[in-house]
Structure formats: C-alpha cells, structure tokens
Amino acid sequence: MSNVKKAEGKLGVMVVGLGAVTSTFMTGVLMARKGLAKPVGSMTQYDKIRVGEGENKKYLKYNEIVPIADLNDIVFGAWDVYPANAYESAINAEVLKEKDINPVKEELEAIKPLKAAFDKNYAARLDGDNVKQCKDRWDMAQQIREDIRKFKEENGCDRIVVLWAASTEVYVPVDEKIHGSIEALEAAMKADDKEHIAPSMCYAYAALKEGAPFIMGAPNTTVDIPAMWQLAEETKMPIAGKDFKTGQTLVKSGFAPIIGTRCLGLSGWFSTNILGNRDGLVLDEPANFRTKEVSKLSTLESILVPEEQPDLYTDYYHKVRINYYPPRNDNKEGWDNIDIFGWMGYPMQIKINFLCRDSILAAPLCLDLVLLSDLAARSGRYGIQRFLSFFLKSPMHDYTKGEVPVNHLFQQYVMLKNAIREMGGYKADELID
C-alpha cells in the first residue's frame, strides 16, 4: 500500500507569470471543476498505469494508485509585471474563446497578480510596472518568501507549489564560484550580484525556503545549478525543470527514437518555429533566444548518440530557429526537416509540420507538474525529480557527475510510471536499458 501522506486541505498553486499559458491553465482547471470542460492532455487526469502481474494485473488511474490532490482543492495565485487579473489576461491572450472563459469570470477576476520580482535586463522586451522595489537580490528573495507566507495564510492553504510560467530570461552560464554552493549563492544575493543571480533564482530560493516544491517551466538556468540541488536536499523539497515540452521538442523526443530504433542514419535535423505571443516577443531578443536554444538543442544529442553508433550519427547537423511572427499569436507552427540515410548510405527526407497551440499544450503540463510535485513532496521525495522529465524539454541532471539526461520520450514514460508505482506501494517493473 501507498505510504504517501494524504492530500488533505487546500493546495496553493502560485504561478510566476500570468500570461497566456497561466490564464489558460487556470481557466481550464476552473472550468473542469464545474464540469464545463475536459482536462484533455493531462496524464494525471486520464492516463492509466498497469500495476501487478498475471491474474493480479490491473490498469489504474494515477489517483487510484497514489493520493493526488483533487482539482477542487486548488487555490490559484500569481505574480506578474502587468497588473491585469486572470480574467483580463485570459481575454487579452486570445487563446480561449470568450464563451469558454465567461462561466468562471468571477473566479478569474479574483486572481490578481502580486507585484513581480523583475529585472528588465533579463527580459528587455517586457515593460510592465507591477514590480517590486528591491534593495538587492537578497531583499527580492525575502519579499517573495513573505508573499508565499501571506498567500498561504490568507487562503488557508495546507501546502504550496510554485511554478514558473513566465518568460525566458537572458542566458546565465553556470559559474561554479557563485552557483556551486548554497553559501556562495546567498553571498552573491546579499552582494546584489545581478549578473549571476537572475530573478527566477530568487523565486526558486524563496519557494524552497518556504517548504514549497519549485518547477521551472522555462529554459532558465535557475534550478540547473548545484546550489539549488543542495538547497532542495536541505529543505527536503522536490525541484523540477526545465522548460515545458509542448510542441516541437515533444515531436523530436518521440520521433528521434524511431530513427534510432530502426538503425537509420541522420545527416541533419533543421527545426524552425514561428510564434507570435509574448513568449515569441521575448525570444526575439538574441540573448533570451540563446537560453531557449541551449534547451532545445540538448534533446537530440542524448537520443542519437555518435559514440554509440558512429556509422549512423557522427557529424549530423542540428539547427534550431525561433521566429517572432505576430499574426500567429499563440498558434505556433513548428517545421522539422530531417535528412536521414538508409541502406548503403542512400539519402531520404522526413518533413513534419506541427500546427499547434502553445498554451493548449502547456496547460495540462502545468497541472501534471504541480500535482506530481505536490505528490513527490508528500511522499518524501526531494531534490531533482527525474521522473518528471517526461514533461520537460531539458530534464535536470547532475552534470557534475557526468550524468546524461534521459530525453527519449518512451524511456521517460517508463520512469514516470515506475515512480507512480513505487509511491503507490507497487514494485517498479519496467527497466530502462
């Protein structure tokens, strides 16, 4: 039997960023609670896992195996640089039709964003004024901690999860001297080292210190540093990241295994996207795109590995592009042009054109990551949550020990299922080779 603590009381979900993704996520959950919409795409709401073997074999939903928080127990909060409430944000984002927002209008209007911890140097294209005045990075983190405490108390929440669904920040390279330990990180925050301490790091630090799991839904370096891993271990809190795996990378992590499993060769993979929402605007800035590029490029290299199959994967060319194109708004389009070769080296091509809706794909990921991070915390799991890599573009891993992340979608799915089984008191029974 599962020895996970029951999901009693209210679960506060505090989201950094109240834009297209967050307002779509919140609206969908509120509509689903009223029975007016279906949470399609959510593993925690739909997926079934086999437990037991032989005559004891059965297929159960996640909440039949482990105690997952009920949608009715979720209370939403947010921070944002713009003062618009969740209803105004949902209308402005133009992802959902008004008829799919209005039934929960009052609940959305009540979700007013707290002032954001923000530094324009990290997102030059954003210019909102709903921003905290902070003496330094340390003060920034303390103000966020106070927000979490206050929100928890005012809303009668038993537990809090903090989710980053804000824009991609400027790329921050890992610096061992600053990011290598909690002490060094705190010293840099107190010294107001704006170059090495991004605002998102202040959110992650504050969440962990307040006993809240933290999820990084953008490609920021935030939780990809030893200092955060140490803090998560110290506070016994789960962390997960980074970057929601929604469109093109989902396709890549699912399609690359076809090429690898069939032992076909790869000459090149060119991926390009057009996107017109606020995320696209921010990514139009080269320094912000660099952060995204690093996360998107990492997927392929751990699935089609040159060292393992030198005849097939040596020197393939991998290029990723994102183009800001306002007319498309949230309806992004991903093109993949894949040059492969087969028997005797003869070339072939594969073209994939995915016309997807960014926030529609991201919303269920937000729900699953929040519910599963809360579950992990109640089951005593802390530190890097590798089983959540299924939902993320660039899964966290301990690169200081040479660990290679698992990017293969179906291997990630085995990790997810086994974690749920183990937390439910069943044995893990599908090994990853």
Residue 16: the pLDDT is 98
Q: Which residue has the tokens 């996520």?
A: 25
**Which three-class secondary structure state does DSSP give residue 375?**
helix
Residue 66: the pLDDT is 97
Would you place residue 53 in the very low, low, confident or very high pLDDT band (cuts 50, 70, 90)? confident
**pLDDT digit string, tens, across residues 24-44:** 999 999 999 999 999 999 999
Compute φ and ψ for 163, nearest 5 degrees.
Answer: -125, 130
Residues 6+ away with beta carbon under 8 Å from 410: 254, 257
Residues 6+ away with beta carbon under 8 Å from 208: 214, 228, 231, 232, 235, 237, 239
Report CA 167 to chain centroid distance, whole Å.
12
Give the integer Cα–Cα distance in Å for 326 and 311. 42
Q: How much of the chain is helix, strand and coil, in % rounded to 5?
A: 45, 20, 35
**pLDDT digit string, tens, across residues 150-183:** 999 999 999 999 999 999 999 999 999 999 999 9
Give the integer Cα–Cα distance in Å for 163 and 403. 25
Would you place residue 288 in the very low, low, confident or very high pLDDT band (cuts 50, 70, 90)? confident
Residue 432: the pLDDT is 73
**pLDDT digit string, tens, across residues 172-218:** 999 999 999 999 999 999 999 999 999 999 999 999 999 999 999 99
Say if pTM beats, i.e. exceeds, 0.85: yes
Domain boundaries, the chain: 10-244+359-423, 248-355
Report CA 180 to chain centroid distance, whole Å.
23
**pLDDT digit string, tens, across residues 360-417:** 999 999 999 999 999 999 999 999 999 999 999 999 999 999 998 999 999 999 999 9
Per CATH, domain 10-244+359-423 is 3.40.50.720: yes
Q: Which residue has the tokens 């994967």?
A: 313
Integer angstrom CA distances of residue 161 from 266, 330, 339: 41, 26, 42
Would you place residue 433 in the very low, low, confident or very high pLDDT band (cuts 50, 70, 90)? low
Tokens of 211: 């006993």
Give the integer Cα–Cα distance in Å for 244 and 362. 7
Helices (H), 56-175: 62-65, 86-93, 105-109, 137-154
Give the integer Cα–Cα distance in Å for 292 and 392. 13
The answer to whether 380 and 238 are in contact (CB under 8 A) is no
Residue 96: the pLDDT is 97
Strands 347-355 and 333-341: antiparallel
Would you place residue 330 in the very low, low, confident or very high pLDDT band (cuts 50, 70, 90)? confident
Instruction: Specify the CATH class of 248-355 in words.
Output: alpha beta
The answer to whether 334 and 251 are in contact (CB under 8 A) is yes
Tokens of 252: 């890549």
